[in-house]
């Protein structure tokens, strides 16, 4: 479960309510397998301090995702600490998994995977740095078999497939089989390269059961849709519904 939207609601009032750790506990008690956060330099939702709090209390896998090139930034909000830089934050916390994402400061959300033909030489030493600390490292990738193979060459343990194109095709009914086939081929390329397979972005209760049939899928990270469903059905019930959609 991605908790960014819980933090976004909290930050709209600059209070401690809703509590990010308390909602993490609710998700875990309802059966969530792990907790994901994506702390951005502007700390618009998850803050660096949230990451440290979660690291102290979590009993399940902790996945921190973000842009490894994001450097330190002073906080402009009263009561909010500075952003230490993504790599410094992750190295201090040492989560079970770190997902590297090539997003810029001005993006509302992640909208593309790494181009490792261009960026592979910069990404490889970052992957090695994280792995030396015992952190499983995943790269956010488009469903492109050639790029997936490059992810293995730069040393990644896993890839997280960017699933927005699948969600859009599922919703519109346009080219769904062709788009789904792209993800199957990407999954096959990951397996052949020895990479574990994660996925995320715009997955919801409607499109998740079909996507869960992608071969070798180990993990999905879902935040926005689950939070919206939680408003309607309650957080614990929403978590259970997503587990059911995965066939658990």
- For residues 33-64, one letter each, b for 16 or more C-beta atoms within 10 angstroms of the residue's C-beta and e for the rest, the string is bbbbbbbbbebebbbbebbeebeeebeeebbb
DSSP-derived letter for residue 82 is P
Strand order of the β-sheet with 196-200 is 34-37, 61-66, 97-100, 136-141, 158-162, 196-200, 217-221
DSSP secondary structure string, 100-137?
Answer: E----TT-SS------HHHHHHHHHHHHHHHHTTT-EE
Residue 95 · residue 24 · CB < 8 Å = no
| Residue of 48, 130, 124, 132 lying closest to 97 (CA atoms) | 130
First-last CA distance in the chain: 15
Residue 212 · residue 218 · CB < 8 Å = no
12: Cβ contacts below 8 Å, ≥ 6 apart? none
Question: Which amino acids are annotated catalytic?
Answer: 38, 65, 201
Distance CA 156, CA 138 (A): 6
In a 3-state reduction of DSSP, which class is residue 37? strand
């Amino acid at each position: 479960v991605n908790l960014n939207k819980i933090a976004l609601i909290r930050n709209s009032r600059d209070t401690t309510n809703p509590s990010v750790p308390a909602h993490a506990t609710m998700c875990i008690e309802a059966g969530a397998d792990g907790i994901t956060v994506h702390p951005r330099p502007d700390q618009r939702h998850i803050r660096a301090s949230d990451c440290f709090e979660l690291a102290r209390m979590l009993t399940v896998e902790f996945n921190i995702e973000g842009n490894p090139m994001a450097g330190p930034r002073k906080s402009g909000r009263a009561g909010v600490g500075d952003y230490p830089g993504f790599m410094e934050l992750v190295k201090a916390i040492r989560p079970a998994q770190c997902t590297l994402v090539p997003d810029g400061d001005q993006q509302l959300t992640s909208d593309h995977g790494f181009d490792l033909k261009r960026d592979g030489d910069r990404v490889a030493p970052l992957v090695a740095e994280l792995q030396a600390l015992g952190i499983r490292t995943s790269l956010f990738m488009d469903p492109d078999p050639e790029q997936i193979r490059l992810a293995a060459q730069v040393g990644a343990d896993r890839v997280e497939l960017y699933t927005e194109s699948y969600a859009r095709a599922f919703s519109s009914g346009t080219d769904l089989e062709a788009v789904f086939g792209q993800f199957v081929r990407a999954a096959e390329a990951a397996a052949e390269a020895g990479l574990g397979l994660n996925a995320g972005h715009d997955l919801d209760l409607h499109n998740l059961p079909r996507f869960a049939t992608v071969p070798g899928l180990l993990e999905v990270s879902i935040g926005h849709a689950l939070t919206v469903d939680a408003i309607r059905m309650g957080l614990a019930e929403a978590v259970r519904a997503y587990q059911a959609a995965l066939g658990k």
